[in-house]
Amino acid sequence: MPFIVSVVGQKGGIGKTTTAMSLAAVTAEAGKVLLVDTDPQGSATWWAHRAGDRLPFDFVSDLRSLRLGELRGLPHDVVVIDTPGSLEARKTLTTIIYASDLVVLPTQPAALTLVPLLRTVAEVVAPRRAPHRVLLNIVDPRSRAECDEARALLDRHAIPHFEATVRRYRAHERAPFDGLVVTQYPTRDRYSLRALDDYRKVALEVFETGRPQLLASVRASLAAPAPASLS
């Protein structure tokens, strides 16, 4: 029975689809993965079509062809769901959250993105008692204070969050156009490797809540030495 992870976010520009695609890619290093695109904007679908046969996980772009109740019977280790980006699709979002083992809420560590996040948690996630964690995403590595302030705000509202963060890298911005996912970024510079390691660290925390049998594979990937040319 697969572990179901939904990626939820109300505000645009928080990296919701990038988070879903990247978590699916990193998880596919350790197990069998399905990504389901339920967002009417279809960003994940467009990205998957650009990737074509290079996509390292299974993909479904129309949830109507696959009932949520059927997800539990699939032969996958993990199912990642890219959810609608607007709370207007409340019925669909609520159904997905009820079906999820973990809800991941990416956000930039800035006031104008944290305020909508707090509302999403209070109005949509918490009332369903769904396990959830906030992911600080698109983080400026030069501004540690901003992350500290965001974590303090989340702590004051008793909202759980990942210890790992995902830093801002141009490779993430280029990936949809190139039809690549994070495990396929060219390793010509150390920044691509750091981008990959960020998501592997997030995946470790995800698997600690479910699918602990996948932890060893991800830990081994993190421990692998960098190519000699980048060390």
Q: Give 69-96 pLDDT, tens digit per residue.
A: 788 889 999 999 999 877 667 788 888 8
CA distance linking residue 203 with residue 214, whole number of Å? 9
Looking at residue 209, what is its pLDDT? 77
DSSP of 162-225, one letter per residue? -S---B--HHHHHHHHHT--GGGS-TTSHHHHHHHHHHHHHHHHHHHHS-GGGHHHHHHHHHSP
What's the average model confidence in pLDDT over 200-216?
82
Name the pTM for this structure.
Answer: 0.90
For the chain, percent of residues with pLDDT exceeding 90: 55
Owner of token pair 């925390």 = 205
Q: Which residue has the higher pLDDT, 209 or 160?
A: 160
Q: Domain of 25: which CATH number? A: 3.40.50.300
The first and second tokens of residue 92, run together, are 């669909």
- Tell me how far apart the alpha carbons of residues 161 and 104 are, in angstroms, rounded to a whole number: 9
So what's the pLDDT on residue 166? 96
User: Which helix (H) or strand (E) covers residue 23, if one does?
Assistant: helix 16-27
Query: 65 pLDDT exceeds 60?
Result: no
Q: Which tokens is 17 given? A: 């689809």
Q: Classify the C-alpha dihedral 178-184-187-189 as positive or negative.
A: positive
Task: Please report the pLDDT score of residue 231 as a whole number.
Answer: 43
pLDDT at 229: 46
Its domain, for residue 169, covers 3-230
Please tell me the distance from the alpha carbon of residue 217 to that of residue 213, in angstroms, as a whole number: 8
pLDDT of amino acid 228: 43
Percentage of the chain exceeding pLDDT 70: 90
Length of the chain: 231
| pLDDT average, residue stretch 40-49 | 94
Give the chain's domain count: 1
Quote the CA–CA distance of 43 and 25 in Å, as a whole number.
Answer: 16
Q: Which residue has the higher pLDDT, 67 or 71?
A: 71
Of 7-11, 152-156, 198-202, where does mean pLDDT reach its minimum? 7-11
Q: Sorting pLDDT into bands at 50, 70 and 90, what band is 66?
A: low
| Cβ neighbours of residue 179 closer than 8 Å, sequence gap 6 or more | 47, 50, 51, 52, 54
Pick the closest to residue 47 from 205, 213, 151, 184 (CA basis).
184
pLDDT attached to residue 49: 96
Question: CB atoms < 10 A from the CB of 185, how many?
Answer: 21
pLDDT, mean over the chain: 87
Better-predicted residue by pLDDT, 94 or 229: 94
Alpha-helix residue ranges (DSSP H) falling in 89-139: 90-99, 111-120
Give the Cα separation of 219 and 222 in Å (integer): 5
42 torsion bin: left (phi>0), alpha (psi -120 to 50), beta (else): left
With a cut of 80, say whether residue 218 has pLDDT above it.
no
For residue 222, pLDDT beyond 80: no
